[in-house]
Chain A
Amino acid sequence: MSDGAPETMRDLVAGYSLGALTAEETRAFEAALAISTELQRELQEYREVNALLALAEVRTPSAELKQRLRERIRSSKGATLPGGRALGAAPTPGRSFTTLVMGAGLAAAVLVSVALSLKVRSLTEAVGVRDSALAGTRQRLAERDATLNAILEPNVQLVTMVATGEAPPVAQVFFDPARRSAILHLFRLRPAAAGRAYQLWLLPKTGNPIASRVFNTEAEGHGLETAIQVPAGEEIAGFALTEEPAGGSPQPTTKILLSGLTGTR
């Protein structure tokens, strides 16, 4: 490996586990990680190695740290008062006024505490919602990165399918013969009617069309179908699109809407 040379994702696993990659490398790796169970498994192995490295050295923190953790946890729970046992102590006989004042003060403290706990809970929930939204955004970004990576594979062929009639939709198929997979990208194709769907067909050099992905487009006519598998052993000459019943068909039942041939390198 040399500076600037392309690296495989597996080369990056150890560095990722250590946090040693650049932001760009991290982004690329996480995109690949999202779709590769092998990378996930390998990463977990390195995390176990890291854990063992961590256990190889110990250093005692201050004794107060555990109490600080306890207090922080209790404040996050919001329902437990530190030192609550003292709050429940019986009043001293003969000191009724003091007891009353203390009781009122304590009651106020309890109310404030409850109010604070409700506020903390509310904030915690808000943070949880934002964390969830952030996780969703990251997942979508990872999926898009993965799609982009697949499209940028050097041996990928782009097949553009053109309309047979007057309709203007356009479809692009990014077909990777080596990986036996394809990505279908559609523009201006109106969603199929209720009970109907679009179906992609793989066209072998010989024989009948092979049924592939059944899908529908979005309201504005856009569609993106990823990870379309191409059966091993079939030499694919092209792709076609028809409208079929919602569950798809074993063979085309309507005329071709779009079709295209694979390119030759």
Chain B
Amino acid sequence: MAGPQGWTPFPGATSIRLSSALPRRLAPFGAMATPLPTVTESDQSLLARVARGDEPALERLYDMYSAALYAVAYRISGERSDAEEIVLDSFSQAWRDAPRFQSDRGSVIAWLTMICRSRALDLIRSRGRRANVVTKAAMAEPDATPGMGSAEPRTDRDVERTERRQIVAEALRSLSPPQREAVQLAFYEGLSHSEIAERLGEPLGTVKTRVRLAMQRLRDSLRPYYTGQAV
């Protein structure tokens, strides 16, 4: 190889090449042109108040979202008492971590959902058990009007949320039955890819692909409802 011109040549330079058989750990990332979801003023404002130690603001968030988070926690844990502890821990964590919430990184409910699911998954995995009691419910067709009650009075916002639930149910119905089953096992029961594969008796790779494609489809279907809008 020719050396660079106009400078001192290299003395005794050596070169070593890494084997091309090494596993590829990082792949090129395609462009993601999707705009970041924005945050509703009311939720963001409430969380800002929570960050300042405002208890009524936390209670308001609880009124708005505890029923949804409790449903998730219950579906994953399968026990009412566990689900309540998970919700309690989630809002307690929100109380502590509110000052660190970054509004440009997503919505308040996405943040709360992430906290709640993480706690629920931690709980069931630490106990090594699974909530089989909800399996049949997870397999069932999603209701057109899901919901078992609300923790707050009916408002315009409730109507909006009911419509959104119908949209989500519709998006779930648009998936193929195997895709829907895989997503519901992953999301509502908190099963890992390998656990889903074991449960369904399917190859792991098939399950991974199924979950990924289903989530991509849900993302594409639901994008108008979380991009730039209140959740």
Residue from the set B109, B183, B223 with the largest chain A CB neighbour count within 10 Å: B109
Chain A residues with Cβ below 8 Å from B47 are none
With A48-B231, A149-B25, A150-B26 in contact, is A155–B4 under 8 Å at CB? no
Chain B residue at smallest Cβ distance from A127: B96
With A3-B205, A158-B15 in contact, is A66–B66 under 8 Å at CB? yes
Contact B222 A259 (CB under 8 A): no
Q: Does A248 contact B (CB under 8 A)?
A: no
0 or 1 for each of A6-26: is its CB under 8 Å from B? (1 = yes): 111111001101111110000
Bound together, the chains give a CA A8 to CA B212 distance in angstroms of: 12
With A20-B193, A77-B53 in contact, is A57–B146 under 8 Å at CB? yes
Chain A residues with Cβ below 8 Å from B105 are 40, 44
Chain B residues with Cβ below 8 Å from A50 are 110, 113-114, 117, 187
Contact A28 B25 (CB under 8 A): yes
Contact B113 A51 (CB under 8 A): yes
With A48-B231, A55-B68, A161-B13 in contact, is A61–B211 under 8 Å at CB? no
Contact B5 A41 (CB under 8 A): no
Q: Does A95 contact B (CB under 8 A)?
A: no
Chain A residues with Cβ below 8 Å from B18 are 151-152, 154, 156-158
Q: Does B6 contact A (CB under 8 A)?
A: yes
Chain A residue at smallest Cβ distance from B19: A154
Chain A residues with Cβ below 8 Å from B118 are 19
Chain B residue at smallest Cβ distance from A50: B113
Contact B87 A76 (CB under 8 A): no
Q: Does B131 contact A (CB under 8 A)?
A: no
0 or 1 for each of A39-69: is its CB under 8 Å from B? (1 = yes): 1111011111111111111111110011011
Bound together, the chains give a CA A208 to CA B5 distance in angstroms of: 7
0 or 1 for each of A133-161: is its CB under 8 Å from B? (1 = yes): 00000000000000011111111111111
Contact B1 A19 (CB under 8 A): no
Contact B34 A41 (CB under 8 A): yes
Interface of chain B: mostly helix, strand, loop or mixed: helix
Contact A152 B25 (CB under 8 A): yes
Contact B14 A260 (CB under 8 A): yes
With A260-B15, A262-B15 in contact, is A154–B219 under 8 Å at CB? no
B177 CB to nearest A CB, Å: 17
0 or 1 for each of A231-265: is its CB under 8 Å from B? (1 = yes): 00000011010000000000010011001111111
Would you list the 7 A-B pairs with minimal beta carbon distance, nearest first? A8-B27, A263-B15, A14-B215, A58-B67, A59-B71, A48-B226, A56-B168
Given contacts A149-B25, A205-B2, 4 further A-B contacts (CB under 8 A): A14-B212, A20-B192, A50-B187, A54-B116
14 contacts across the A-B interface (CB closer than 8 A): A9-B26, A19-B192, A45-B34, A45-B223, A46-B215, A49-B218, A49-B226, A53-B187, A57-B146, A65-B70, A66-B59, A162-B13, A263-B16, A264-B1
Footprint of B on A, CB under 8 Å? 1-11, 14-15, 17-22, 28, 32, 36, 38-42, 44-62, 65-66, 68-70, 72-74, 76-77, 148-162, 164, 203-209, 237-238, 240, 252, 255-256, 259-265
Footprint of A on B, CB under 8 Å? 1-8, 10-32, 34, 36-37, 53, 55, 58-59, 62-63, 66-72, 74-75, 80, 83-84, 87-88, 91-92, 95-96, 105-107, 109-114, 116-118, 121, 142, 146-151, 161, 164-165, 168-169, 172, 183, 186-188, 190-194, 196, 203-205, 208-209, 211-212, 215-216, 218-219, 222-223, 225-227, 231
